[in-house]
Amino acid sequence: MTDQLRPYEPLTSDNAALVLVDHQIGLMTGVRDFSTGELKHNVVALAKAAKALKLPIVVTTTARDSMWGPTFPELVEALPGAHIIDRSSVNAFDDPAVAKAIEATGRKKLIFAGISLEVCAAFPAITAIGKGYDSYVAVDASGTFSETKHEAGLLRMLQAGVILSDYATLMVEILKDNGRPEAGAVYEALDMPWAKLVGQIAQSHAK
């Protein structure tokens, strides 16, 4: 388990990378802890915000052609040109191509999201801890097949020292300053209509 007394070191655009694991059509059909619509929304928002923040993004599938099908199209559309690494290993970090892609980011803080939460997100996140990374999981951009699996996955990750959060908080932590030029794109990606409303009110007052 990681040292819980270690000083807080925030996520930044320079130290973080995003790893999206197995957001595939076949696996999506079995998710029961979130609605399909909500999960798709959250994953796409996470990907778009990470892209706006210029984070390296690694995307992987497992058994794409034989079992679980392709990445769901909305996510593919959100990441045009992204190379999606297909593999056979259950743990994405066990695949040499995925491990090489993660290492190539040069980042020491890894944000994971995956289907299922307790396997596809948890296994590589826990493995990353053992390899010396700081490991985060966006719980609401991951999904699984029962509430029991959801709860067991969270407990196992916490025991291993993985930091659990929601996707929007992780992205806003990286944004850090609402004065950054990327702020508008990040909030738009996160699909926060109230942020747009406040911006419109501010603009109207300035006129």
Residue ranges per domain, the chain? 16-206
Residue 42: φ, ψ to 5°? -65, -40
What are the helix and strand counts (H, E) for the chain? 9, 6
In the DSSP assignment, the letter for residue 161 is T
Cis, peptide link before residue 165, omega less than 30° from 0: no
Asked if 111 and 138 touch (Cβ cutoff 8 Å), the reply is: yes
pTM: 0.92
Q: Which amino acid is located at 86 in the chain? A: D
Calpha distance 113→167 (Å, rounded): 9
Residue 152 burial class via C-beta count within 10 angstroms: exposed 0-12, middle 13-18, buried 19 and up: middle
Q: What is the CATH number of domain 16-206?
A: 3.40.50.850
The neighbour count for residue 160, using CB atoms within 10 Å, is 17
At 192 the pLDDT is 74
The one catalytic residue in 11, 53, 115, 120 is 120
Tens-of-pLDDT digits for all 207 residues of the chain? 445 567 889 999 999 999 999 999 999 999 999 999 999 999 999 999 999 999 999 999 999 998 999 999 999 999 999 999 999 999 999 999 999 999 999 999 999 999 999 999 999 999 999 999 999 999 999 999 999 999 999 999 999 999 999 999 999 999 999 999 999 899 999 987 666 655 554 565 555
What are the structure tokens assigned to 128, written together? Answer: 């990353």
**Which of these, 52, 102, 100, 45, lies nearest to 74 by C-alpha position?**
45
Question: Is 120 among the catalytic positions?
Answer: yes
Which segments of 54-160 are extended strands (E)? 57-62, 84-87, 109-114, 134-138
At 1 the pLDDT is 46
